[in-house]
Amino acid sequence: MLDSLLSAFAQFLTPEVLGMVLVAIPVGLAFGILPGVGGLTALAILIPFVYGMAPLPGLAFLLAAHAVVYTGGSLTAILLGIPGAPPNAATVLDGYPLSRQGRAGYAIGAALTASALGGVVGVVVLVLLLPVLQPVVEALGSPETFFLALLGVAFLGALGGSQPVKGLIAGGLGIFLACFGTHSISGEPRFWLDSDYLIDGFRLVPLALGLFAVPEIISMMSTGRAIASRTQSNSIVRQQVLEGVFAVPRRSWLTLRSSLIGVCVGVIPGVGGETAPFVAYGWARRGAANPDGFGHGVIEGVIAPESSNNAKEGGALVPTLALGIPGSSGMALLLGGFLILGLEPGPNFLQNHLDMAFSLAMVVAVANVLAAILMLVLTPKISMITRIHGHVLGPLLLVLVILGAFSTNSNEFDVVYVFIFGLLGYFMRELDFSRAALLLGFVLGSVVETYLHISLAAYGPLFFLRPVSLLILGLMLAGIGTVLIRRGRG
Amino acid sequence: MAQLDRLFTGFILLFVMSFLAIGYFYYQYSWGVFYFPFATGIVIICLCIFVLCRHRPDQSTGRSPQPSITAATGTIIDTRQPTGAWSGILWVLASVPFVIVFGYLFGLALYVLVFMRTHGQGWALSLTMFVGTLATIYLVFMSLLRVSLPLFPHGVT
């Protein structure tokens, strides 16, 4: 193993690999910042560019770009209330209120530092787990995946807003909307109303853009107000950024715990990275002295999802490299990159290319840190966007949203549904229904259904009696119950 | 706001019930296909009924009903939005005819120009944003990302 690590260092510290990482970082950040154009789109667009490259530089390029997308996405989540990618929706909950209070620099400093540290923790765990991974991943079966997916939705629904019942309605509605379209098990289209568009169900990007972007644009256009109710000079913004940077090590246990949640969720194939930031957010809120402060601009509500967001990438690499099973949808695309470059992840890959696996881990760690440093330097300039008059920023954002929605599938119905979900999101925001819970329910709806079906088929109705399943179920009930009881007493 | 809350919860209830009815009576799905949305729908319906039943006229359910106190500074910050955003909703929807009539490239740029001018922005800034929007759409989305944006009015090839 030591030989592999040394070889990995040697391979990583070559001009080709470092050059690819440096090129990929701004590309990934740009994709993350553009609403609607997230990590999956970035990978899909960039994969053709690696044809003909050597394996490690090519993979370093793809992985570095993908790893930093969520760092870029956190910026729009905080500054504009628009998640750059669905996992960034958890950051909106407290990041955007901080921005509106004129403390965008504080939130961004904390988010970027948490992202960098979370990415490093994810990589460290990856490196430690890789050689011993197979039995760990194989111990997690369909019941555990089912409960984990449900855990994410239930946590966010019950804990992510001020009214748990409304949050659970939102999460349930998200799962219900995910039932539209072709049934993944039988292939029969459901609730499609004889519409070709709905055979494939609702799309994630129009839903996310509509729920989060359109309500903010409506507010900007109707009031004309800038995002920040108080404007700050660049020097104060720089001060805020530093304050945010130091806020993370002062909450080291929160950062570490959230990162570990990200890694654990990322390791489980099929659940996807979207759950991790919400579970981390829910746990942070549950353990906070003032849980009702969450959602109104509490820095812990930014640190928790951001550190888990980047840590999960290291976790998602684990089953991808070790078993050839993608740990997330992004990793599924990355597998395509592996095959293009003539490599086949799996147990043999670790036996024959363990040094390359370690090099890729280094790529993720370094990319996260460099991206955070780059964005920290640019933050005072970028945060000026919160001072732009709403009547200027609103229409420009709407243009980006429309184009972002159209560009996913070149389908005009995607734009139509952005408006429909936008109205839904507007009223949800005004009436305190959790939009993040709906989004997460939508993302995980098919996972929940599929793994429920598999669990019932494989283990019967008592599938939940497996030890790890009982543990996850217990954690879910304990976490939700604790907060509900505290609220009831309050 | 409380009435709007009841209406919205009722809308969700009706939406779910309608599609469950469509699935059962119109499409006549088999149990294997229908059990999961049915179970999810029942949970949503029960939760909605709970919210509707417990709704009291004096309960405020608007977003941030009170000014929030930031944990970091202890300062009371009013994060409430004013009500009456119908103009914003109508202007968002107004982008649709621009796209239908002028296509995505010119339609969206023109929309930005018209919106800014009708909301008190000067010609210099409005025209700058118009040109900037055109350039961004063409260079970033059409050239770099190779998105096939319909350039012409809807129905014209």
Read off the pLDDT of residues A1-53 as tens digits, 9 standing for 90 and up. 677 778 878 888 888 888 888 888 888 887 777 665 566 666 766 776 777 78
**CB A67 within 8 Å of CB A313:** yes
Residue B27: per-residue pLDDT: 92
Please report where in the chains the tokens 């002295």 appear, as a residue. A289
d(CA A77, CA A99): 10
d(CA A468, CA A369): 34
The percentage of residues in chain A with a pLDDT greater than 70, rounded to a whole number, is: 85
DSSP H or E stretch at residue B56: none
| Mean pLDDT along residues B118-124 | 91
* B121 and chain A in contact, CB less than 8 A: yes
CA distance A300 to chain B (A): 10
Chain B interface, mutation test: which of A27, A96, A168, A173, most B Cβ atoms within 10 Å? A173
* B137 and chain A in contact, CB less than 8 A: yes
Q: Quickly state the pLDDT bin for A137 (edges 50, 70, 90).
A: low
Chain A interface, mutation test: which of B89, B112, B137, most A Cβ atoms within 10 Å? B89
Contacts of A222 in chain B (CB under 8 A): 84-89, 91
Q: How far is CA A417 from CA A371, A406, B39, in A?
A: 33, 10, 26
Give the count of beta carbons closer than 10 Å to the beta carbon of residue A381.
Answer: 10
Residues 30-59 of B with CB under 8 A from A: 30, 32-34, 36-37, 40-41, 43-44, 47-48, 50-51
What's the gap between Cα A402 and its chain centre? 22
Output the pTM of the full model: 0.75
d(CA A475, CA A160): 16
d(CA B150, CA B157): 9
- Asked whether the beta carbons of residue A296 and residue B64 sit closer than 8 angstroms, the reply is yes
DSSP H or E stretch at residue B69: strand B68-69
Read off the pLDDT of residues A312-335 as tens digits, 9 standing for 90 and up. 877 777 777 776 666 666 676 677
Contacts of B50 in chain A (CB under 8 A): 165
R_g of chain A computed on alpha carbons: 21
Q: Quickly state the pLDDT bin for B135 (edges 50, 70, 90).
A: very high
From B108, which residue of chain A is nearest by alpha-carbon distance?
A399
Query: What number is the ipTM of this complex?
Result: 0.82
Looking at this protein, which amino acid is placed at residue A52? G
Sign of the CA dihedral running A477, A478, A480, A486: positive
- Asked whether the beta carbons of residue A169 and residue B108 sit closer than 8 angstroms, the reply is no
CA distance B157 to chain A (A): 15
* B93 and chain A in contact, CB less than 8 A: yes
Partners of residue B77 on adjacent β-strands: B68
DSSP H or E stretch at residue A196: helix A196-199
**Is residue B72 predicted with pLDDT exceeding 50?**
no
- Asked whether the beta carbons of residue B147 and residue A410 sit closer than 8 angstroms, the reply is yes
d(CA A279, CA B56): 32
**Is residue A208 predicted with pLDDT exceeding 90?**
no
d(CA A137, CA A266): 11
CA distance B122 to chain A (A): 11
What string of DSSP letters covers A304-365? Answer: HHHHHHHHHHHHHHHHHHHHS--SSHHHHHHHHHHHHTT---SHHHHHHHHHHHHHHHHHHH
Read off the pLDDT of residues A241-255 as tens digits, 9 standing for 90 and up. 889 999 999 999 999
Read off the pLDDT of residues A91-117 as tens digits, 9 standing for 90 and up. 988 999 998 888 888 999 999 999 889
Q: Interior CA angle at A214 toward B44 and A201, to 5°? A: 50
Helices (H), A13-141: 15-33, 39-46, 55-80, 89-100, 104-129, 133-138
Dmax over Cα atoms in chain A, in whole Å?
64
Residue B47: per-residue pLDDT: 93
Contacts of A176 in chain B (CB under 8 A): 16, 19, 37, 40-41, 44
Provide CB contacts within 8 A for B26, sequence distance 6+. none
Provide CB contacts within 8 A for A481, sequence distance 6+. none
Highest mean pLDDT among A288-302, A342-356, A407-421, B34-48: B34-48
Candidates A299, A423, A433; nearest CB to B72: A299
Residues 72-91 of B with CB under 8 A from A: 72, 77-79, 81-82, 84-89, 91
* B13 and chain A in contact, CB less than 8 A: no
Contacts of B43 in chain A (CB under 8 A): 168, 172
From A42, which residue of chain B is nearest by alpha-carbon distance?
B145
d(CA A343, CA A191): 41
CA distance B3 to chain A (A): 11
Closest CA to A363 of A3, A53, A32, A14: A14
What's the gap between Cα A313 and its chain centre? 9
Read off the pLDDT of residues B38-52 as tens digits, 9 standing for 90 and up. 999 999 999 999 999
- Asked whether the beta carbons of residue A103 and residue B115 sit closer than 8 angstroms, the reply is no
**CB A280 within 8 Å of CB A307:** yes
